[in-house]
Amino acid sequence: MVMSNYIKYLLTNRAIIILAIFIVILNGFVYTITKQNAEDKIQMVLEENSNRLQIHYEILLQTQKITSKAMYKSTINQERLIEIITEANSATKEKKTLLRNELHKLLADKYEISKGKGVLQYHFVLPNNESFLRMHKPSKFGDDLSDIRYDFNYTNRTKKPIRGFTQGRTAHGFRNTFPIFGKNGKYIGAMEISFSSDSFQWYLNNISHIHTHFLVYKKIFDAKAWKRNDLILNYLPSAENPNYMLTLGKIHSIGRCTDDKRIMLKPVKEEIARKMLQDDIFSLYLDHNKNSYIISFLPINNLEGSIGAWLVSYTHSYYIPTIFKGILIMRFAILTFSLIFLYFVYKQIQSRELLIKSHDEIIILRLRQQSRLVQMGEMLSMIAHQWRQPLAAIGSRSAALELKANLGKADKETVIEQAQYISKYAQHLSQTIDDFRNFFKSSKELKESSYNEIIGSVLDIVGTSIENKNIAIIQNLSTEYRFLTYPNELKQVVLNIIKNAEDVLLEKNIKDPKIRIVTYKKDGKNVLEIHDNAGGVPTEIIDKIFDPYFSTKLEKNGTGIGLYMSKTIVEEHCSGTLSITNDESGAVFKVELAKKNDE
C-alpha cells in the first residue's frame, strides 16, 4: 500500500515537474523570441535614424551645390571681376594689392548676403596656387597653397570644378571650387565658395530638429595653429572619440557638449570607437537619466577619399522604451498565464487525488469489512470446534445425572459435583464468546501491549484448532518489551499470517508441519517473525503477495485481501513494515514496528 501511494506520489509529482519544466522552457523560448524581436525592432529604428541623417545630409549637399553654383555664376558674370583677376595674373606686388582691394570692395555686399545663407568664405586663387583674396580675411594673401589645398591643385590642373569636404590649417568646410576663364577663354584662376559645418548643424537643429555634433579628425590640424587666437571656428576635444575635435557652433553649449556628453557616452564609448574604425554609417542607443537616445554617426569623406570628419546626431527616442515596455508586458502576461495554468493543473490533480483517495478509502473500508467477515467465518468455525468438546462434556454430564436421578442414585454430592463440571464447561463457553468479541472489537486507541500478549490472545482463539490438525506451534518469544500500538488491529495481522501458514501447510500436505513464532528487538525496532516449513512462496509471485485480490488459494475461495489488509494495518496504522522472504524451509513474514511506537 505504501509503495502504491509512493508510486502515485512520484507520478503526480512527475507530471507537475514535467509541466513546470515545460513552462520554464516555454518562458525561456518566449524570452528569446521577444528579445530577438526587440533587437530586430531596435535595429530597424537605428537604421531608420541612420537613413534619416544620411538623407538630410545629402539634401544639404545638393542644396549647397545648387546655391554655390548660382553664386559662382552671378559672381563671374561681373565683367570687372574677370578683368581684375586677368590683370592679377601678371601684375606686380603693388598692383596686386590695388586689384585685391578693388575686388574685395566689389564683392563685399554680395559676400555679406551670402554669409547669411551659410557661406563661410569666398576665396580666389591664381593658376599657380597663390592665394589672391580671402573675403573673410583679406589681410591674409600671397601664400602658396600647393601643398595644403587639394581642391585648388585639382582645379588649376584640370580646369574643372570640384566640391567636397576639406580641412585647412585653421578651418574646415564644404568647399566648392570652380575654374575662372577670361574673355578670350584663357584660364585665369579658381574661385572657392565654402560652407561651414555650422550651417549644416543649424539646418538640422532648427529645421529637422536633430541635435548634431561635427567631429573633425585631430591630426589634420596644424599643431602650431592651436597657439594662435585667429581660428575662424572654435574646437574642443570630442566626447565621442578622443581622436577627434568637436566643432563648436552657434547651437552648442560648451558644458553640454563636453562634460554632460562625456558622462552620457561612457557606457558606449568603446563601442563607438570600435564602430568608427569601420568607416561606415551606424547608429546605437543608450539610456541616460531615464531617457533613451539614438546616436547616429555619418562618416564624411574629404576630397581625397578618406574620412576627414563625422556628423553625429542625437535624437531623443520615445519608441524604444515602448518596445521594452511591450516586451515586459508580454513576458509578464505569458508568465502569469503559465503560473495560473500550472496552479489550475495542480488543483485539478489535487482534486483528482482527493477523489482517488476517497475512492481508495471506500475500497479499503469494504476490504476490511470483507476481511472481517472472512475472519468471522473462520472464527465461527473455530468456536464451533472449541465448543464441541465442552458441549459434549456438558451433554454427557447432564445425561449421567439424569440417569442417576431416574435410578434413584442422584445423591446431593453427585448433583453438586456434576453441576460444578457443567458450570466449568459453561464458563469455558462464555470465555470463548468474550475472546471472540474482544478480538473483533473496534478500537482506534493506542494502548500499551507486547508481542507476547498479542500472540497469546491469538493462540487462545486458534491454537487448539491448529494443534488439532497436527500442526506444531513453536514459540520463541525472547523479548518482553512493551510498546504503544493498536493491539486489536495487530491481532488481526498475526491471525491472518498464522491462518495463511495453516492453510498452505494443509494444502501441501507437509509432513511434520510447523509454525514458528519468534520475537526480538533489533536497531530499536520490535520485530515479530512467523515462519512455516511449507517450502516458501514462488519467486515469480512473491512481489505480488500483498497486492489486493491476489491469492494463491483461488480454487479454495481465497479472497486475496487478508495479506493486503495486514500490510495496510502495519504500515499505515502502526507506522511499521510488513515484509516476506523465503528461508531454507519456507516463508518468513516479518513485522517491524518503528521507534515512534516504542515506549
- Give the CATH number, domain containing residue 113: 3.30.450.20
From CA 190, how far away is CA 390, in angstroms rounded?
149
SS3 letters across 239-289? CCCCCEEEEECCCCCHHHHHHHHHHHHHHHHHHHHHHHCCCCCEEEEEEEC
Indicate whether 578 and 474 sit together in one domain: yes
Number of domains present in the structure of the chain? 3
Same domain, 546 and 449: yes
For residues 488 and 597, membership in a common domain is answered with yes
Q: Which of 263, 293, 321 is the last residue of a domain?
A: 321
- The DSSP code for 449 is E
Rounded Cα distance, 61 and 487, in Å: 105
Q: Are 129 and 143 in contact (CB under 8 A)?
A: no
CB atoms within 10 A of CB 87: 15
Same structural domain, 100 and 213: no
For residue 72, being part of any structural domain is answered with yes
**pLDDT at position 129:** 95
Q: Tell me if 255 is assigned to some domain.
A: yes
The per-residue pLDDT for range 190-232, each reduced to its tens digit, is 999 999 888 878 888 877 778 888 888 877 665 445 445 544 4
Residue 327 lies in a domain: no
| Residues 214 and 195 sit within 8 Å (Cβ to Cβ) | no
Q: What is the dihedral of CA 7, 10, 15, 19, to 10 degrees?
A: 180
Q: Decide if 189 contacts 126 (C-beta within 8 A).
A: yes
Q: What is the CATH number of the domain that holds 573?
A: 3.30.565.10
Q: What is the pLDDT at residue 11?
A: 52
Q: Residues of the chain whose pLDDT is less than 50?
A: 1-3, 6-7, 10, 223-224, 226-227, 230-232, 554-560, 596-599
Range of the domain at 261: 199-321
pLDDT of 189 reads 96
Residue with the three cell numbers 589634420:
220
In terms of domains, do 499 and 521 share one? yes
pLDDT of residue 134: 94
The pLDDT tens digits of the residues spanning 58-108 come to 988 898 899 999 999 999 999 999 999 999 999 999 999 999 999 999 999
Measured distance CA(240)–CA(270) in Å, rounded: 10
Q: Is the overall model pTM greater than 0.75, yes or no?
A: no
Whole-number Å distance between alpha carbons of 105 and 113 = 14
Give me the residue label for grid cell 512481489: 543
3-state secondary structure of 216: strand
State whether 186 and 224 are in the same domain. no
Q: Are residues 447 and 581 in the same domain?
A: yes
- Are 229 and 127 in the same domain? no
Phi/psi of residue 160, each to 5°?
-125, 155
- Please tell me the distance from the alpha carbon of residue 225 to that of residue 235, in angstroms, as a whole number: 12
- Whether 204 and 180 map to the same domain: the answer is no
Beta-strand pair 234-237/244-248: antiparallel
